[in-house]
């Protein structure tokens, strides 16, 4: 339905079981959320563990637990196409300036 409206569809997963159970051809992207929703801890290793399990026809997005430009470089090298970063910037006094500085280091 979303694609009929011209929208892209992103499936968010937290582990291999969710990925294997939920993957379907109508998706455009798969986001790996590195945040454990049970206790809100984050572990970037989740993305590294799942990246090669995501078929190449989907955009691969790493979500959460990204707080430095080096992590972006490593995730990109591993095969991710995009990144969701929010909390890292919202903790600063000037999120806009923080984003600009962060991106300049990539």
- Among the four given CATH numbers 3.20.20.70, 3.50.50.60, 3.30.70.980, 3.20.20.80, the one describing domain 3-104: 3.20.20.70
88 CB-contact burial (10 Å; exposed 0-12 / middle 13-18 / buried 19+) = middle
pLDDT at residue 102, as a whole number:
92
pLDDT at residue 1, as a whole number:
81
pLDDT at residue 4, as a whole number:
86
Dist. CA 17–CA 30, nearest whole Å: 14
pLDDT at residue 89, as a whole number:
86
pLDDT means per 10 residues in the chain (106 residues)?
Answer: 90 97 94 94 97 98 95 98 89 91 92
Strand order in the sheet with 10-13: 10-13, 29-33, 59-63, 82-84
pLDDT at residue 2, as a whole number:
85
pLDDT at residue 90, as a whole number:
86
Residues 6+ apart with CB under 8 A from 12: 30, 31, 32, 33, 63
Dist. CA 105–CA 84, nearest whole Å: 17
pLDDT at residue 3, as a whole number:
85
Q: Which residues are bridge partners to 31 per DSSP? A: 12, 61
pLDDT at residue 9, as a whole number:
95
Q: What is this structure's pTM?
A: 0.90
Residues 6+ apart with CB under 8 A from 20: 53
Query: In the chain, where are the structural domains located?
Result: 3-104
46 CB-contact burial (10 Å; exposed 0-12 / middle 13-18 / buried 19+) = buried
């Amino acid at each position: 339905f979303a694609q009929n409206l011209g929208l892209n569809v992103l499936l968010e997963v937290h582990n291999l079981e969710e990925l294997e159970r939920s993957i379907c051809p109508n998706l455009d992207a798969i986001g790996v959320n590195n945040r454990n929703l049970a206790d809100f801890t984050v572990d970037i290793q989740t993305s590294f563990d799942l990246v090669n399990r995501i078929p190449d026809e989907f955009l691969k997005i790493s979500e959460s637990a990204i707080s430095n430009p080096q992590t972006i470089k490593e995730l990109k090298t591993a095969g991710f196409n995009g990144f969701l970063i929010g909390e890292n910037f919202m903790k600063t006094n000037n999120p806009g300036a923080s984003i600009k500085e962060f991106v300049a280091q990539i």
